[in-house]
Amino acid sequence: MSFYIPLGVFALIVVVFLLGFGLGNRTELPSALIDKPFPAFAAPDLFQPDQILGRAQIVGRPALVNVWATWCPTCAAEHEMLIKITERADVRLIGINYKDDPTKAIAWLGQFGNPYDLVLVDDQGLLGVELGVYGAPETFLVDPNGSIVYKRVGEVNERIWQQEIKPRLIAMSPDVVHGLDAASR
Amino acid sequence: MAEFGHFSLTLAGVMAFVTAILGYVRSDDEHWAAHIGSLVLGTFVFASISFVALVWSFLQDDFSVAYVANHSNSLLPWYYKISATWGGHEGSFVLWILFLCAWTLLVVLRRHNYPVQIYTRVIATLALLNVGFICFCLFTSDPFERLIPMTPADGADLNPLLQDFGLIVHPPMLYAGYVGLAVPFAFAIAALLENRVDALWARWVRPWTNGCWACLTVGITLGSWWAYYELGWGGWWFWDPSENASFMPWLAATALLHSVAVTEKRGAFKSWTLLLAISGFSLSLLGGFIIRSGVLTSVHAFAVDPERGLYILIFLGIVVGSSLLLYAQRAGAYSSQVSYRFLSREFFMLINNAVLMLSLAVVMWGTLSPMGYEALTDGKISLGPPFFNRFFVPLMLVLGVAITLVPVLNWKRTRGDRVLSFLKREGVIALVVSALIAFVVRPDVITVVIGILVAVWIMVTHVLDLFGRLRKNSRQPLSYVGMTIAHFGFACSILGVAITSSQSVEKDVRMVPQEEAMLAGMSVHFNGVTQVRGPNYVAQQGLFVVRDGDSTFELRPEKRRYLAGGAIMTEAGINPGLLADTYIALGEPLEDGAWAVRMHHKPMVRWVWLGALLMAFGGILAIFDVRYRRLRARANSTSSDAPLSGRLVRE
């Protein structure tokens, strides 16, 4: 019987691929963290490594927490959209530099621009474990009370911003999104 | 000419089909077996004609052929016109088919080594695969399609990234390896059909496994080398899905290489060897699917134009599904009871296979799970190098430690006191040498120290063993010499990876002409940038004079703009060295004539590839071992489970 295992594994791979390609409307996978408070943490600031930041930095105002790394090609593609978001909305953008080399991360932000209000260093991926991070990029929307309202696995693009993040931000506090962009809703 | 090529390819497909039918139906008929050889030769000739026709269309700048128009340009130098033949999807499949024909022909040339039933079934399986590939080529990706009447005046040019020596030789080697894995696969299928898996069968498979494994090794090495100097990032391995696509079959083939040795020498691991032979080729098909279907750029690009990907997926499903089903039904008969102790070659081969399978699982998970994730939701994520490195570094170190003991281990069991004295003598030498190295390079990460120690230890044990044996008898079996060289190569690679990953210096600086910068104790003088013209590009060429103590050398990195597509390419200036590379790439031009300059000092990076080439050389050497030439006399002997005698390494 055990000789059928390879066949089973193979069948599983094929089924996942076929199913995936066949799906018209792709669904977001639910996260266990939705409506849970953002976990407590202690992580150094990328630009001032001796300064340890904690959960207090995130609560108080709506925040987007973005997990990124220089080794992640999708993060580079997403970067432009993050810059646009900081121009369009008055939301705090907090970066978590995930399993990365801080020197490279600083050079990277110097090259592509730095849209983040704060960048936390998570070089060991420990904060990533707390947040259930699977890979990079991932983005969490956190309300002023510090609860995770929405989680995006993969890049934030125009569609995700318009359909998922913006409405939730406006629900939190309508004046967060700037006039120009709010008019286009 | 293009029509001629198309016709030849069709003809080759028909001949392959006839071969497959004959091979399966008249499998034990000596008379027909002889005709099968002529049919294979015919298939090869027509596939070659078709390939030459395509090359010819490129050399003649026949832009009425769509594939040529998309991948070539009249300004392209002739050697790139030839290599452009396999620069795109359609042409690479013609090359792929040609290689499959060539491997099949090689099996035909060695036909007297195998009993007729095995021979015909191997050929039939290979021919059937060939039919599948040729149909794929003709129906979904015809390279000979014409653009009539709208023939463009000039071609769109070959992707400038591919206009390079590395890309002339890298794809053919890689394809030869990919396709070569079909031969052990076909032997496994034939063995399952014939219910014959024994030591002799293993001996038939071994040279083929070595051959395709060596091609794959060289192919991957060339790809890594190319990425290093052409992409301008100074890295040599990116855990990119296209790299992983070639690495997965390599891991399976490496495991097969070792497992089939146990099957030959001890009659053990039979069903496991069969499974590895099947999965090796299955993984190269999977790699083909990943690279050729468009799932790489985006899973959804595949959904937009699913024709090719779907064909490969269906082909993959049929080939792999049916062979695994056959395996599931038949392999149960081969569970063998062979006893061995912990300190034995068998057990260490088991470690080798377990480590390689775990590595394969890691690479597979890291490659396929983001794709599966993207397919099910629509988020595109990467697990990235940290994921792979976290698992891979310890796995390879475990493998390395296991290899250190190879020279002292016997089949079945080894006396503990022998291993102990071996550990003491060689271990002390290795400790002293690696302590010296560590003292010079001063690594600050513990895994690097361990890596250096393991690498030096392997080198010491293998070199001492080789010289010890050569002193006793200067005629050692080539399979033993090959194995020693390959293991030594593996150690070189580990040493290179350990040192280059921890000791490299990377600097991004802004430089104006006549400015000097320091890099790892060398002074780098920037003389300025001049405009130069190539055959199909114009370039800004920087001139850097590097002074290292008494010696000086010049580096001329370029920023090229290709005329046909306007693409900008970075051409790094590299001063290669056995101990260290100096690598300078031009970044962006800044204001006031200044340039962003990226400089690397990469110690021992060459050892990574040098080691891999040694591995491949070792594999090739072992093919020429005398015992594979003595197969003929045994070809028609009855099945036997007894381990073969002959010139074994140690008995």
> What is the per-residue pLDDT for B645?
42
Tell me, letter by letter, the H, E, C secondary structure of B503-553: HCEEEEEEECCCCEEEECCEEEEEEEEEEEECCCEEEEEEEEEEEECCEEE
The candidate with the shortest Cα–Cα distance to B70, out of B141, B10, B135, B136, is B141
More confident residue, B36 or B372: B36
> What is the per-residue pLDDT for B633?
52
Contact B531, B541 (CB under 8 A): yes
Q: What is the mean pLDDT of chain A?
A: 84
CB proximity B282 to A under 8 Å: yes
Residue B185 neighbours by CB under 8 Å, 6+ apart: B125, B277, B278, B280, B281, B282, B323
Q: Which of B368, B370, B378 shows the shortest C-beta gap to A13?
A: B368
A to B CB pairs, distance under 8 Å: 106
| Beta carbons of B378 and A13 less than 8 Å apart | no
| pLDDT exceeds 80 at position B234 | no
pLDDT tens digits along B367-383: 888 877 777 777 778 88
| Beta carbons of B327 and A7 less than 8 Å apart | yes
CB proximity B435 to A under 8 Å: no
Q: Which of B271, B320, B378 shows the shortest C-beta gap to A154?
A: B378
Residue range B234-252: mean pLDDT, rounded = 89
**What's domain A34-183's superfamily in CATH?**
Glutaredoxin (3.40.30.10)
The candidate with the shortest Cα–Cα distance to B120, out of B230, B44, B25, is B25
Low-confidence winner among B9-13, B289-293, B511-515 (lowest mean pLDDT): B289-293
How close B331 gets to chain A, by Cα (Å)? 7
The candidate with the shortest Cα–Cα distance to B86, out of B173, B160, B168, is B168
How close A47 gets to chain B, by Cα (Å)? 18
Q: Which of A3, A4, A23 shows the shortest C-beta gap to B376?
A: A23
Q: What are phi and psi for residue A84, nearest 5 degrees? A: -60, -40
Q: Which of B331, B371, B377 shows the shortest C-beta gap to A153?
A: B377
pLDDT tens digits along B313-323: 889 899 999 99
Residue range B55-84: mean pLDDT, rounded = 91
When pLDDT is cut at 50, 70 and 90, the band that residue B644 belongs to is very low
| Beta carbons of B381 and A137 less than 8 Å apart | yes
Which residues of B, range 386-415, sit inside 8 Å of A by Cβ? 386-387
Interface test with A, best of B233, B324, B363 (most A CBs within 10 A): B324
How close A185 gets to chain B, by Cα (Å)? 23
Which residues of chain B neighbour A157 with C-beta distances below 8 Å?
A: none
> What is the per-residue pLDDT for B632?
62
d(CA A153, CA A28): 8
Which residue shows structure tokens 């010079």?
B440
In order of their start, the domains of chain B are 1-158 (1.20.120), 505-605 (no CATH)
When pLDDT is cut at 50, 70 and 90, the band that residue B229 belongs to is confident
Q: What percent of chain B has pLDDT over 90?
A: 52
The candidate with the shortest Cα–Cα distance to A156, out of A147, A166, A148, A142, is A166
> What is the per-residue pLDDT for B351?
93
Residue range B181-201: mean pLDDT, rounded = 93
| pLDDT exceeds 90 at position B39 | yes
| Beta carbons of A10 and B302 less than 8 Å apart | no
pLDDT tens digits along B418-473: 888 888 888 888 899 988 988 888 888 888 999 999 999 999 999 999 999 999 98
The residue of chain B with its CA nearest to that of A11 is B321
The residue of chain A with its CA nearest to that of B375 is A20
> What is the per-residue pLDDT for B647?
38
DSSP-assigned letter for residue B160: G
What ipTM was estimated for this complex? 0.77
> What is the per-residue pLDDT for B639?
44
> What is the per-residue pLDDT for A84?
92
The residue of chain B with its CA nearest to that of A29 is B377
The residue of chain A with its CA nearest to that of B365 is A13
Q: What percent of chain B has pLDDT over 70?
A: 94
| Beta carbons of A21 and B299 less than 8 Å apart | yes
pLDDT tens digits along B561-599: 888 777 888 888 999 989 999 999 988 888 888 898 989
> What is the per-residue pLDDT for A24?
46
| pLDDT exceeds 50 at position B137 | yes
Residue range B86-113: mean pLDDT, rounded = 92
Residue range A109-134: mean pLDDT, rounded = 89
Low-confidence winner among A7-11, B322-326, B554-558 (lowest mean pLDDT): A7-11
| Beta carbons of A107 and B382 less than 8 Å apart | no
| Beta carbons of A134 and B381 less than 8 Å apart | yes
When pLDDT is cut at 50, 70 and 90, the band that residue B415 belongs to is confident
Q: Exposed/middle/buried for B433, CB within 10 Å: 0-12, 13-18, 19+?
A: middle
Cis ω before B306 (30° cut-off from 0): no
| Beta carbons of B327 and A3 less than 8 Å apart | yes
pLDDT tens digits along B146-186: 887 778 888 888 888 788 888 889 989 999 999 999 999 99
How close B239 gets to chain A, by Cα (Å)? 10
DSSP states along B545-612: EEEETTEEEEE--EEEEETTT--EEEE-EEE--SSEEEEEEEEEE-GGG-EEEEEEEEETHHHHHHHH
How close B264 gets to chain A, by Cα (Å)? 21
| Beta carbons of A6 and B386 less than 8 Å apart | no
| Beta carbons of B384 and A18 less than 8 Å apart | no
Interface test with B, best of A71, A123, A126, A131 (most B CBs within 10 A): A71
Which residues of B, range 286-305, sit inside 8 Å of A by Cβ? 299, 302-303
When pLDDT is cut at 50, 70 and 90, the band that residue B307 belongs to is confident
Interface test with A, best of B298, B382, B501 (most A CBs within 10 A): B382
pLDDT tens digits along B529-559: 999 998 889 999 999 999 988 889 999 999 9
| pLDDT exceeds 90 at position B634 | no
Low-confidence winner among A66-70, B85-89, B130-134, B606-610 (lowest mean pLDDT): B85-89
Residue range B265-280: mean pLDDT, rounded = 92
